[in-house]
Amino acid sequence: MSQKQLIINPGSTSTKLALYDGEQKVLQTSIGHKPEELLAFEKIGDQVPFRLALIQDFMAQNGVKGGELSAVIGRGGLVFGLKMGGYEVNDELCEALVNHDYSQPHASNLGGLLARAIASKYHIPAYIYDAVTSGELSPVARITGMPEIQRASFSHVLNSHAQAIRYAESIGKKYEDLNLIVFHLGGGTSASVHQHGVMIDSVGDDDGQFSPERAGCFPSLALVKLCYSGKYTKAEMDKKIRGKGGMYAYLGTSDAREIEKMIQNGDEKADMIYQAQAYQIAKTIGLLSVSLKGHCDAIILTGGLAYSKLLTDRITEYAGFLAPVVVMPGENEMEALAQGGLRILNGQECANIYHLPERKEL
């Protein structure tokens, strides 16, 4: 029986598309977008007709027949309050994707909108899977020291969940039977705690460790002083935190390969910054181990930066006493989306149904 899925992964500069038949990738492409093309649209949702036309051209050029599809899977958008897993794209989810009382504006919000636009034409289901904002943090985990600000889940859920499932399968166990800490290492980093199939806590890139391009968490009074120093605009401060922070701020590059070359050539500063990166990552792992009360089956290091053996070895030196450290480098968002959709189609998972919250508390 054919289980063909069209996978749609919209980003800020591209729309990635793939066709999967069961677990097999039939074809995949990435359509780049020039900045001036997207600047013509005032709001993210206004891009739907433009990107939809490109998707339809892709289908026509590659002989992808809508009538043969079983489902369309879109990348999960930044809608607040989602659980991990899949969601049927209904009217209320579409409203949340464009109404920023319920979501953050981001190109990934187009995933559900585009999936539904295609799926409704062929009377098949549309889903999103493992949105960045997915997580089931307890009320205790949401509390900060400032009532006006509460913690929310924000991490690389798609890759982290997929690698956690893959790890469980590799040792002959069910994902739901394990307690895992998964650390995604990339330009931005995040960690998540998976307790018997539920993601109960996470630390994003502005909530903890610094990363190649992001500054992470630091003394708040010093940050307030810097913000009001008159030296920087809000836009410049935003960039110092996300984009030009972290290792880039210290070394002028966020490319780990270049940094490792600097270390090999005797650059002591580069060596210290790389060591500090490993140290902060390990500290976050230690912090999250508390949520499992020490009962952690494995620590998984994944993402593109996990290819750096120098970094993963240093992290293991610090955190290896907590649980076995397993390195599973790389990420494949398209494959992870397809696998999530396939689990729904096979009845291994049930898609969640989104309802707009009665009260806007974001």
Query: Tell me: the pLDDT tens digits for 31-40?
Result: 999 988 898 9
Rounded to the nearest integer, the mean pLDDT of the chain is 94
Quick check: helix, strand or coil at residue 313?
Answer: helix
Mean pLDDT of 268-297: 97
Q: Do domains 4-135+334-353 and 157-330 have the same CATH topology?
A: yes
User: Which has the closest alpha carbon to 141: 155, 130, 131?
Assistant: 155
The whole-number pLDDT of residue 1 equals 60
The per-residue pLDDT for range 171-201, each reduced to its tens digit, is 999 999 999 999 999 988 999 999 999 999 9
Mean pLDDT of 127-132: 96
The model's pTM:
0.91
Quick check: helix, strand or coil at residue 34?
Answer: coil
The whole-number pLDDT of residue 35 equals 86
Give Cα 230 distance to the centre of its chain: 34
Read off the amino acid at residue 352: N
Mean pLDDT of 5-15: 94
Question: What is the full DSSP assignment across 116-130?
Answer: HHHHHHHT--EEEES
- Indicate left, alpha or beta for 285 from its phi (over 0: left) and psi (-120 to 50: alpha): alpha
Give Cα 213 distance to the centre of its chain: 16
pLDDT band at 12 (very low <50, low <70, confident <90, very high): confident
Mean pLDDT of 110-127: 97
Q: How far apart are CA 301 and CA 328, in angstroms?
A: 6
Domain boundaries, the chain: 4-135+334-353, 157-330
Mean pLDDT of 190-218: 93
Mean pLDDT of 113-124: 97
Mean pLDDT of 257-274: 97
The whole-number pLDDT of residue 188 equals 87
Q: Which two tokens stand for residue 114?
A: 């585009």
The whole-number pLDDT of residue 359 equals 55
Q: How far apart are CA 260 and CA 314, in angstroms?
A: 13
Number of H helices, E strands in the chain: 13, 12
Quick check: helix, strand or coil at residue 322?
Answer: coil
Q: Is 133 exposed, middle or buried (0-12, 13-18, 19+ CB in 10 A)?
A: buried
The whole-number pLDDT of residue 177 equals 97
Structural contact between residues 260 and 308, judged by C-beta atoms closer than 8 angstroms? yes
Structural contact between residues 102 and 96, judged by C-beta atoms closer than 8 angstroms? yes
Q: How far apart are CA 318 and CA 137, in angstroms?
A: 26
Instruction: Say whether domain 4-135+334-353 belongs to CATH 3.30.420.40.
Output: yes
pLDDT band at 362 (very low <50, low <70, confident <90, very high): very low
pLDDT of 16 > 60? The answer is yes
Q: Which CATH number fits domain 157-330: 3.40.50.300, 3.30.420.40, 3.20.10.10, 3.30.1330.10?
A: 3.30.420.40
The per-residue pLDDT for range 302-361, each reduced to its tens digit, is 999 999 999 999 999 999 999 999 999 998 899 999 999 999 999 999 999 999 997 544
